[in-house]
Chains A and B, each alone.
Chain A
Amino acid sequence: MSFPILTLITFVPVVGMVAILFLKKGQDNAVRYTALTATAIQLVLAIIMLFAFDFTKAGILDASTFQFVEKARWITIPNVSWIGTIKIDYFVGVDGLSILMVFLSAFVSFIATLSSWNIKKMVKGYFMLFLLLDAAMMGVFVSLDFFLFYVFWEIMLLPMYFLIGIWGGPRKEYAAIKFFIYTLFGSIFILLTMIALYFSATETVNGIQLHTFNLIELTKASAYSATGILSPQNPNNWRMIAYIFLFIGFAIKIPMFPFHTWLPDAHVEAPTPISVILAGVLLKMGTYGILRISYPIFPEITRELAWYIGLFGVINIIYGALVALAQKDFKKLIAYSSISHMGYVLLGMATLSVTGITGAIFQMFNHGTITAMLFLIVGVIYDRAHTRGIYEFGGLANKMPVYTGIVTIAFFAAIGLPGLSGFISESLVFIGGFGSTVTRTLTIVGLLGILLGAAYMLWTLQRIYFGKFNEKWSFMEDLTPREYLMFVPLAIVVIYLGVQPGLAIDFMNTSVKTFVHFLNTAAF
């Protein structure tokens, strides 16, 4: 262990936050630039990590092949009456599953900071909360200790609640509370499972057996004492129940049908950058959690329930797309399209095959960049027109040609047009899905998604950008340089990964192969 890059990348925003704390009230621009610097440093660190990343190391099950690992004892309470010694580690590391997510959250946070420039209300508070959110998100993706993971997971809720509740739209209180309570409701399930796991498993530290939150130790069948509640030897179905609990907790974040209704509300009310973060990064935490925690800890249940996961994935795809088709609010439409696209991730995960899971992770990344673009696109017209009704616009293409060009790229990426990144990940999901006997039928149904997706996207494209120009909006201007700056990097990533997907796939390939092998063979 050398340079503590993961600690740095996680806590740089916190440093930024403290720095902002010391700024005076009127210095809005200083606040903005401090936040931008913090996220920029984070992004640079993420890029350094990409370059330093070793493709041949698998991670997943073996602590020694994780990269950039840092491990330290965080909390120790010796000899608590009947519990014994409580030990919680500060344990972070990165492998093929998380490296792309780390980069994604740094990248999207940076773009979201740029798009936060026109937040005018309580700038200082906004950016402090924003940076806290950023730190928590990053923490979730690098944690390898369940307790630490959970702490970051919960910390993230708080700034989000205020960011929606203070800087949001007309029904912000409702949306913020709904988001908060819904997610907290899910967290309870995670917490329960976490505690059950803690008491079921042990880890040997310096020759002493201690209960553990270590996510890597928890994947080993030998870690479970025979009497533990979640022990594989336990004849009761507790492991199944724990799995379902954990799944519900994560499914709310994805969000999976029928737990998805907080999302449209939260998106519609949240300010643009927060929507970008929410769709771009936060939703991935749900699927990432399933991959990082549920899958390796309960591989046998995963195999048993794979079909159901796929089923919910397909329901998400079709249902989200159909509901999106009926929306009149641009942002709500994008929110439902997010639900639809996250369905592909679930379907890909359910395949338990290399192509499917690669597709799922890649789709997580691509959805992050594409949806970020889509929400920024909504933000651009909302900033100018202060309305998002799809029917209220028309013919914007003539007035804002560059913007429409960006819109076309983003929309077609969302549709899954070849040459753009969304195509590769969707295709890999379908390839994996059809290849697996478990999800074959589901995949055939899921294919409908590519038709429905095209339907609502093109319909929106036509309504807002084509057709007769509505003179009411003749004051609208094309993109400003700042807006260029946030769209262009996203567009470049979307196009580049569409043409050169190997770049992303190489990062996860070794890990995914190890992972899939484990999932399909692990005897529990």
Chain B
Amino acid sequence: MPGSNLITLSLIILFLPLIGFITVLLFGKRFSKLYNFEIGILSANLLLTLYVAYEKLFVFANQKIAMDATWFSFGNIPGIGQLNIDLGIELTNITVMMLFVVNLISFLVHIYSTEYMKGDSRFSRYYSYLGIFTFSMLGIVLTDNFLMLYIFWELVGLSSYLLIGFWYEKDSAANAGKKAFLVNRVGDMGMWLGILILFTNYHTFKFDTIFAQIGLGNIPFGSEAWLTAAGILLFMGAVGKSAQFPLHVWLPDAMEGPTPVSALIHAATMVAAGVYMLTKIFVILSADALTVIALVGAFTSFLAASIAITQNDIKKVLAYSTVSQLGYMVMAVGVGAYTFAFFHLVTHAFFKALLFLGSGSVIHAMHHEQDMRQMGGLRKKMPITYYTFLTATLAISGIPLFSGFLSKDGLLAGTYAFGLLTGHWTVAIFGFVVAFMTAFYMFRLVIMTFHGEPRNKEKYDHAHETPKAMTIPLITLAVLSIWIWYTPNPFNPEAGWFYNKMEVKTTVVPQDMRFNFMKTEAPEHETAEAEKTTAETHETVESEQVEGTTRVMHSEMYEHAMHEAHLPTMIWSILLAGLGILFAYIIYQWKKISADELAKKWPWLYKFSLNKWYVDEFYDKTFIGGTLEFSRWLSIFDNKVVDGIVNGAATLTRGVSAVSGWFDTYVVDGLVNFTAFFSGVLGFGLKKIQNGKVQSYVLVVVLSLILLFVMFLPFF
């Protein structure tokens, strides 16, 4: 089988971090240097990934390499047939790219943390948690079925919980961890329901089998509404994990975790899992579901950007920026430009990880000060941090020559084309407005942190450039934020290898549930047939032909619209980004307009943004407060009513028995006692006669005799 060694290697890549986790968790305390083992594992992983990625992308580019194994089986069930629960992994081009991103950033964070976490009392524990996170994240990346997706989805939730609450002595950290887990659970609930819909209909969790079935027109419960519902419910999982509105509230709080963790989990990899999942299930999303996704993404990106503008905590700004960028990606999936969503995912992973690690460097230098109002002028003290940070800022703002421009431009073009094709311009407008805001708040951050005069002299004096273990990851990531790695032409992403290596799948939903521009003439059967063979042979390595070169999804209509959108989008996005940067300079660098003045001018707007649209407060008052109140009420109900009935029944029984007891004592027993009493009285009277004197007996005898005479003698 071609590529079977790649499967083996992928399994090794998957399980090495788990081994690291277990080893470091169990023995980390005894051997304080054991964390090096974990780092070693990650470096091995990175090398293996490079090899696997290279082989997959350039040797087996047009083949899907997959393997399934039965986890457990129910045998043959009448009415369903053979029911096996399978686990399996698959390697597609997107998979290996993601594999590389995850391993690289994880590796860099491991290196970075050796300095950042130095001296922490639970240093090795930290590394073991990173290990389980990497394991679970790789699981999401490699999976070829929904069950495993869900399993690892939950496991990253766990590792995220553990790492956010790593400094659990702080109540805020423990709270944030809990909040993250619970908010994610809300999304997971929906996702699990979506999976249940699919499993109930197809009796398998495997992506390809399900997609093929839908491609054959065999939609869930024979109803279009269920297919749309399944799509939206699966998307709920992404809403939770990728922090989309209305479940975005956990991500900013998650910044309570150590900063490298924020970089790894809450910026680059885990939060992008939602988008990654959407790219996997893109083919079964109906037009309605896609519209919902696009609107949620667009609104989220706007919401988060509007909040980021006024935040003063450096990590909070970055967190909201992450939410906003994730909204971008989700939006891109919604408008059908999912290849650009994934493109942005990758570029964003690098520059956002860089931003977080950079901010971590700043925070480290400032002795855990996170408030930007205490910073300023750090440019001179920390040149490496500054310049790498600036690179990332330019990338995220969408300035040409940087990676962000390529992907962002692509996805904005997608929204523009979407507007052209469907007449829905809302999404595009949100997209462009957010591009402006992003440039503005990112430069606000850079200026407040690195430019100008130091605001806190004392802290400034102590600041220094961070050690090599921290700057090397920064430099690596900064290098990766340059356009050249993705495409030779800095203005055209489609010219590069990266874009062209991404598989484009044909949407499989029935024709009348697609957007007009996604309609195709002849539905495909190849995948369905290929699927049949997959179902029959288990535990073997398989590979399938996928349409690698012909881009079937993109009807000519769409290609045309994208082409048309390209130039205006580029002009607009550069213009808006430039404008954003300009405003940031005017307000914060040159102080031509005072930010405070602006805040005073529109206090309502300012407060609204500063307080994050009061979403948290709203949830606290309604859902959380409501549930807690309800549960309290229910507990009282349980105690007083349900148990009250039981105890009431007991009391009632006791009452009845008291009455019957009284009856028993006084009536039934009374009768008995009365008999005794009566005999007693009688006896007492008669006893007198029985005085034991023979004489009185004789007297009685005689008197009785006389009486008898008197009675019976006839002559009386």
Direct contact of A and B (CB under 8 A): yes
A451 vs B168: C-alpha distance when bound (angstroms): 22
The residue in chain B whose Cβ has the minimal distance to the Cβ of A443 is: B196
- Residues of chain A lying within 8 A (CB to CB) of residue B630: 322
Contact of B189 among A397, A450, A465, A506 (CB under 8 A): A450
Is A33 part of the binding interface, using a Cβ–Cβ cutoff of 8 Å? no
- B150 near A501 (CB under 8 angstroms)? no
A319 located at the interface, meaning its Cβ lies under 8 Å from any Cβ of chain B in the complex: yes
440-465 of chain A: CB within 8 A of chain B: 443-444, 447-448, 450-452, 454-455, 458-459, 461-462, 465
Please give the distance in Å from A484's CB to the nearest CB on chain B: 14
**CB-CB under 8 A for A322 and B189, given A258-B642, A355-B74, A517-B78:** no
Residues on the A chain within 8 Å of B200, using CB = 431, 434-435
B77 touches A447 (CB 8 A): no
In the complex, B186 has a CB within 8 A of chain A? yes
State how many angstroms separate the Cβ of A99 from the closest Cβ of chain B: 17
Bitwise, A163-182 to B at CB < 8 A (1) or not (0) is: 00000000000000010011
Q: Does A261 contact B (CB under 8 A)?
A: yes
Main secondary structure of the interface of A (DSSP, over half): helix
B71, B177, B635: most-surrounded residue (chain A CB, <10 A): B635
B77 to chain A: which residues have CB within 8 Å?
Answer: 354, 513
A466–B75 touching, CB < 8 Å: no
Question: How far is it, in angstroms, between the C-alpha of A262 and the C-alpha of B182 when the chains are bound?
Answer: 30
A324 to B174, CA, bound (A): 20
On whether the beta carbons of B74 and A419 are closer than 8 Å, the reply is no
> Is B72 part of the binding interface, using a Cβ–Cβ cutoff of 8 Å?
yes
Known: A261-B643, A431-B199, A466-B174. A326 touches B635 (CB 8 A): yes
Complex contacts, A260 vs chain B, CB 8 Å:
642
B634 engages A459 (CB within 8 Å): no
Task: Write the nearest CB–CB distance from A4 to chain B, whole angstroms.
Answer: 32
Contact A395 B169 (CB under 8 A): yes
Is B631 within 8 A of A325, CB to CB? yes
Are B634 and A323 interface neighbours, CB within 8 A?
yes
CA distance A461 to B175 in the complex (A): 11
Given known pairs A262-B646, A454-B185, A462-B178, the reply for A417 and B74 (CB within 8 Å) is no
Q: In the complex, what distance in Å separates the CA atom of A450 from the CA atom of B189?
A: 7
Known A326-B634, A435-B200, A469-B169; contact A430-B178, beta-carbon cutoff 8 A: no
Within 8 Å by CB of A258, from B83, B151, B161, B645, lies B645
Whether the pair B631, A417 counts as a contact (CB closer than 8 A) is no
> Which B residues are in CB contact (< 8 Å) with A517?
78
Q: Give the size of the chain A interface in residues (CB under 8 angstroms).
A: 57
Q: Contact: B171 with A468, CB < 8 Å?
A: yes
- A505 contacts the other chain (CB 8 A): yes
With A435-B200, A458-B178, A509-B74 given, is the CB distance from A319 to B171 under 8 Å? no
Expressed in whole angstroms, the Cα–Cα distance for A468 and B185 within the complex equals 26
Q: Is A412 an interface residue (CB 8 A)?
A: yes
Q: Which residues of A sit under 8 angstroms from B168, Cβ to Cβ?
A: 395, 397, 462, 465-467
B154 at the interface (CB under 8 A from A): yes
Q: Which residues of A contact B188 (CB under 8 A)?
A: 450
Q: Classify the secondary structure of B's interface with A.
A: helix
Whole-angstrom CA separation of A178 from B649 in the bound complex: 11
Q: Is A398 an interface residue (CB 8 A)?
A: yes
CA distance A326 to B636 in the complex (A): 9
Nearest Cβ on chain A to B60's Cβ, whole angstroms: 30
User: Is there a chain B Cβ closer than 8 Å to A489's Cβ?
Assistant: no
Q: Say yes or no: is A502 at the interface (Cβ < 8 Å to chain B).
A: yes
Once bound together, how far apart are the Cα atoms of A324 and B158, in whole Å?
Answer: 22
Q: Complex Cα distance A218/B75, Å?
A: 29
Interface residues of B in 76-134 (CB under 8 A from A): 77-78, 80, 83
Q: Are B182 and A417 in contact (CB under 8 A)?
A: no
Given the complex of chains A and B, what is the CA–CA distance between A397 and B167 in angstroms? 11
Least CB separation from B175: chain A residue: A462
Does B196 lie within 8 Å of A419, measured CB to CB? no
B558 part of interface (Cβ distance < 8 Å): no
A418 at the interface (CB under 8 A from B): yes
Asked whether, in the complex, the Cβ of B72 is within 8 Å of the Cβ of A326, the reply is no
> Number of contacting residues on B, CB 8 A?
49
Partner of A447, one of B155, B192, B650: B192
A397, A451, A513 pick with most chain B CB within 10 angstroms: A451
By a CB distance below 8 angstroms, the chain B residues around A451 are 182, 185-186, 189
Chain B residue at minimal CB-CB distance from A426 = B192
Task: Give complex CA distance A452, B624 in Å.
Answer: 11
Distance of A418 from chain B, by nearest CB (Å): 4
Chain A nearest CB, measured from B234 CB (Å): 14
User: Is residue A327 within 8 Å, beta carbon to beta carbon, of the partner chain?
Assistant: yes
CA distance A167 to B588 in the complex (A): 72
Q: How far is the CB of A479 from chain B (nearest CB, A)?
A: 15
**Distance between Cα atoms of A413 and B288 in the complex (Å):** 37
Please measure, in the bound complex, the distance between the C-alpha atom of A502 and the C-alpha atom of B69, giving whole angstroms.
13
Q: Are B631 and A502 in contact (CB under 8 A)?
A: no
Min Cβ gap A355→B in Å is: 7
Task: Determine which of A181, A325, A447, A509 lies in contact with B628 in the assembled complex, contact meaning CB atoms within 8 Å.
Answer: A325
Question: Is A358 positioned at the interface, with any CB of B under 8 Å from its CB?
Answer: yes
User: Which residues 466-510 in A have Cβ within 8 Å of B in the complex?
Assistant: 466-469, 500-502, 505-506, 509-510
- Please give the distance in Å from A219's CB to the nearest CB on chain B: 19
Residues in B neighbouring A443, C-beta threshold 8 A: 196
Q: Of all chain B residues, which has the CB nearest A258? A: B642
Q: When the two chains form their complex, are residues A182 and B74 in contact, meaning their CB atoms are under 8 A apart?
A: no
Cβ contact of A417, chosen from B75, B83, B155, B632, cutoff 8 A: B155
Chain A residues with Cβ under 8 A from B627's Cβ? 322, 325, 452, 455
Interface string of B627-658 (1 = CB under 8 A from A): 11011101100100011011000100000000
Partner of A434, one of B75, B83, B175, B197: B197
CB under 8 Å from chain A, chain B span 320-337: none
Contact of B20 with A by CB under 8 A: no
A257–B632 alpha-carbon span in the complex (Å): 17
Determine whether B431 belongs to the interface, using a CB cutoff of 8 Å to chain A. no
Q: Please, how many angstroms separate the alpha-carbon atoms of A454 and B186 in the complex?
A: 10
Cα–Cα, bound, A221→B449 (Å): 83
How far, in whole Å, are A363 and B19 apart by their CA atoms in the complex? Answer: 29
B72–A501 touching, CB < 8 Å: yes
Min CB–CB distance A321 → chain B (angstroms): 8
Contact B638 A261 (CB under 8 A): yes
Contact A431 B154 (CB under 8 A): no
* Contact call B73/A466, Cβ cutoff below 8 A: no
- Could you tell me if A502 and B72 are in contact, using CB atoms closer than 8 angstroms? yes
Q: Within 8 Å of chain A (Cβ to Cβ): is B215?
A: no
B518 adjacent to chain A (CB < 8 Å): no
Chain B hits for A500, CB < 8 A: 72
Contacts of A466 in B (CB 8 A): 165, 168-169, 171, 174
Give A452 to B631 CA distance when docked, in angstroms.
10
Which chain A residues lie closer than 8 Å to B192 at the CB level? 430, 447, 450
**Residue on B nearest A521 in the bound complex, by CB:** B78
A60 to B302, CA, bound (A): 61
Say whether B181 faces chain A, with CB atoms less than 8 Å apart: yes
A7 CB to nearest B CB, Å: 32
A146 to chain B, nearest CB (A): 28
State whether the Cβ of B11 lies closer than 8 Å to any Cβ in chain A. no
Which residues does chain A contribute within 8 Å of B171, judged by CB atoms? 466-468
Chain B proximity mask over A508-524: 1 for CB below 8 Å, otherwise 0: 01100100010000000
A326–B645 Cα gap in the complex (Å)?
A: 20
Q: Please tell me if the beta carbons of A322 and B72 are within 8 angstroms of each other in the complex.
A: no
| B384 interfacial contact with A, CB 8 Å | no
Q: Which of A418, A444, A501, A509 contacts B155 (CB 8 A)?
A: A418
Q: Specify which chain A residues have a CB less than 8 angstroms from the CB of B158 in the assembled complex.
A: 412, 417
Given contacts A182-B646, A326-B632, A513-B75, 6 further A-B contacts (CB under 8 A): A322-B631, A323-B631, A444-B193, A450-B188, A451-B186, A466-B174
- Sorted nearest first, the 10 A-B pairs with minimum C-beta distance are A502-B72, A326-B635, A418-B151, A466-B168, A466-B174, A261-B643, A325-B631, A434-B196, A322-B631, A326-B631
Offer 17 A-B interface pairs, CB within 8 angstroms, sorted by A: A323-B635, A354-B80, A354-B83, A419-B155, A423-B151, A430-B196, A452-B627, A454-B182, A458-B178, A458-B182, A459-B178, A468-B169, A500-B72, A502-B72, A502-B73, A513-B75, A513-B78
